[in-house]
Structure 1
């Protein structure tokens, strides 16, 4: 019996980091998912801004679009030129996420809200559907704290970035 060939889900995103000179720490820009399930969850909940690749679409184009949609932040042409491929990670469910990175200090007042929304039945099995922003927070988080807050399958991307910034590949 031949196994059915399932099309892999592919996403792309951008991991933005900055050097906080006052605190002498590296900080990464992560988003927190919206909706009631995630409301009071902080550890293992945050993620790199990312989203699904449309059929035939370049991964970098997806990463740029999804970063802007999920954070409300705009990348300049100069930012886009500086984007570099970091790595890819794979979720337990089989989704592959291609991650690019950028050193940029976005000002907090520029942070927007998610331009994407999700419809969820809440409470579960109630028949009541509500609409929530896909992400409810955008924040720079110091790298050590981010390692605890990021959704586990994306942790290797933080570790790879850390190695690169320390001069290792």
Structure 2
């Protein structure tokens, strides 16, 4: 009998206050399956981790792997956990920082593409990152992760 373990991811949600209000940095999921999608295709920069690794350390490691830049220092605001539609549990923290999206060098992954072609291609984990006002972010972020935006907005009041 195989025991199925729940996958876990941890990530950092950068935020900043501008003249337009609270903004968050989201990443657009890379690869051909997400290329033409907008709503539901943006995410907190995050990644899977082994249960033996502390979630906070995984969040910082994954930030570096996903964006190619060091995670910012600063107070980490715990945003808790959400369960995505696929059953994955995502834990996130918010950190105030102002990152220039042009400075990222995304990590990559390899997959067979096109399907059943036998060809393997490399794609960026996140094909772009951008700052969004909270209302616009809510329209494009993975549905379950919208709770992180609500929790951050509560904290920022």
Q: With structure 1 as the length reference, what TM-score do the two structures score?
A: 0.85
Counterparts in 2 of 1:1-169, with a 5 A limit? 5-21=3-19, 24-76=20-72, 79=73, 81-109=74-102, 111-115=103-107, 117-166=108-157
Number of residue pairs the alignment of both structures matches: 157
1:70, 1:14 → 2: CA distance? 11
1:84, 1:147 → 2: CA distance? 19
1:40, 1:66 → 2: CA distance? 25
Gaps of 5+ in 2: none
Higher strand proportion (structure 1 or 2): 2
Q: Could you list the per-position Cα deviations for residues 92-131 of structure 1 after superposition, in whole angstroms to 9, with x for gaps in the alignment?
A: 221111111111112344x21212x222222222222211
Give the Å deviation of 1:5. 4.8
Change (3 A) 1:149 1:18: same
Which of 1 and 2 has greater Rg? 1
Where 1:31 maps in the other structure, the secondary structure is strand
Q: With structure 2 as the length reference, what TM-score do the two structures score?
A: 0.90
Contact residue 113 and residue 135 of structure 1 kept, 8 A:
no
1:159, 1:107 → 2: CA distance? 24
Decide which moves more: 10-19 or 117-126: 117-126
Cα root mean square deviation, aligned: 1.8
Change (3 A) 1:124 1:108: closer
